[in-house]
Amino acid sequence: MAKSNEEIANEAIKRALRSLRKRHLSEEGAHASAFAALSRPIVSQGSEWKDKAESLEVELQQCYKAQSRVSEQLVVEIAESRTLKALVQEKETETADLQKECTETRDECVQLKKDLEDKIKALEVVLSENAELKIQLQQMTVRAKNAETENKTLVDRMMLEKMKNAEQLNEANQLYDDMIKQLKASGLEQLARQQIDGIVRRSEQGADAFLQSNIPSTCKHRLQAHEGGCASILFENNSNKLITGGQDRTVKVWDTDSGSLISNLYGCLGSVLDLAITNDNRSVIAASSSNNLYAWDLSLGRVHHTLTGHKDKVCAVDVSKVSSRHVVSAAYDRTIKVWDLIKGYCINTVIFHSNCNALCFSSDGQTIFSGHIDGNLRLWDIKTGKLLSEVAAHSFAITSISLSRNGNAVLTSGRDNLHNLFDVRSLEVSTTLKAVGNRVASNWSRSCISPDDQNIAAGSSDGSVYIWSASKTDVVSTLKEHTSSILSCAWSGLGRPLASADKNGVVCIWT
């Protein structure tokens, strides 16, 4: 165990005192004989020398004491010197560390200076690129403004043309009504129907059998049509034959007069989400959750086209009302596709940010109406695929779009539980229909317009079918037979019956 500085100093003092005593004794022994020899001859002076010796001895003791004090002071100074030496060593070590740290800091400062120069150069490059981008942005902004101005001009011109066409159509309708009244008065109603049908409904077979729509009140047949839900139903054109599609991947044709099944159409690889039929009643097209569309030949009962190209489930389909060739479909891959049914491939694709839930052709077959999840109703040009017009129809997703028989109005239904009738010419809401208990069941709940355009039918999540008067906007009938949410309603082109389908696959025929 190391001794402290104080103990070392005490030992040094003790050694010094012992050395002084030894020296004193040795000197005293060396001078003793001389002192004795001298003391004999001078006995007489003994007392004097004795006094002197005593004084010298006292002086010697004082010298010893002074020497002791000097030794003690020397020890203290040595200890202090050692302490200072250790302190100096510590300072030298700290100085070396500080010099090393200073060198490292200097090197780091040089590296930081180099990095700063590199950053300044990079910043200059970025500033230069930013200036160029600003110039390009200004140019693009000017182009966008010019394009927007040009687009607005074109839209105004298009709307003006549509208004002119609408006025001409109104004049034709008025002429038609005047002719009907005159011919009814003269007793030639049948002849008038044949002549007018050749102009207005030339492509509609069975127009002579057209009847005024009645408001149904009784469930004539309750059909267990499909296993699982039945998402889509429609009637053949001017016929009482009903076509249904369900989650069991089948399409079925029914006789609504007897409630019997006429035929089954197989070949679909997914749930049937929507149906459409050509004007000549030869082909029925199904939109499927398998990302494809399937077209059956009704006379043969087999698939003659499988339309592939969508990347997600196909939720809506419609056929042109002036041609059995063009088909339009919408899928959850944010695309709307136009197909050539004769050639069996896609001829145009529209890509949009909001998924489309429902769509239909205009009466002239040149425009597509589409209803989207964002609640907007959009019009597209079938040839160019360009957006012609857009209107906020509902506050939530649109679930259904139906065109009136005369083509002047389009019905939209939405998840906000409203049913809006738009004037096709101005795209303004002419009628809004709603009911306290009416709740739209899904994003693909289909409503319909009666063939005489006088009534609207829509299903509800409580299993009821609500029927409104389009002119009075009030509920004229509520049909209750279903036990689950209703997904689709369809009205026969002959004016009766009305059909409805629910989530359990049950189809009701109403008369």
Mean pLDDT of 453-469: 94
Total residues found in the chain within this entry: 511
User: Quick check: helix, strand or coil at residue 449?
Assistant: strand
Answer yes or no: is pLDDT of 34 > 90.
no
Answer yes or no: is pLDDT of 198 > 60.
no
Q: Does residue 451 have a cis bond before it (omega within 30 degrees)?
A: no
Please report how the helices 189-200 and 46-185 are oriented relative to each other, as an axis angle in degrees rounded to 10: 140
pLDDT at 167: 65
Answer yes or no: is pLDDT of 193 > 50.
no
pLDDT at 45: 62
DSSP-assigned beta bridge partners for residue 498: 491, 510
Answer yes or no: is pLDDT of 120 > 70.
yes
Mean pLDDT of 96-115: 92
* pLDDT tens, position by position, 337-360: 999 998 888 999 999 899 999 999
Minimal CA–CA distance to 495: which of 208, 189, 118? Answer: 208
* One-letter amino acid for residue 121 of the chain: K
Longest distance between any two alpha carbons in the chain, whole Å: 198
Other C-beta atoms lying within 10 Å of the C-beta of residue 8: 15
pLDDT at 58: 86
Write the CA distances from 21 to 27, 54, 61, 489, integer angstroms. Answer: 10, 18, 11, 134
Rounded Cα distance between 416 and 434, Å, is: 10
pLDDT at 44: 56
| Of the listed ranges 101-105, 181-185, 358-362, 364-368, the one predicted with least confidence | 181-185
Q: How far apart are the first and last CA of the chain?
A: 117
User: Quick check: helix, strand or coil at residue 293?
Assistant: strand
* pLDDT tens, position by position, 238-258: 899 999 999 999 999 999 999
* pLDDT tens, position by position, 390-449: 999 999 999 999 999 988 999 999 999 999 999 998 999 999 999 998 999 999 899 999
* Sign for the pseudo-dihedral over CA of 308, 311, 314, 317: negative
Answer yes or no: is pLDDT of 232 > 70.
yes
DSSP letters, 162-184, are HHHHHHHHHHHHHHHHHHHHHHH
Task: Report residue 409 as tokens.
Answer: 């109005």
pLDDT at 173: 64
Confidence of residue 71 (pLDDT cuts 50, 70, 90): confident
pLDDT at 38: 59
pLDDT at 191: 46
Confidence of residue 24 (pLDDT cuts 50, 70, 90): confident
Mean pLDDT of the chain: 86
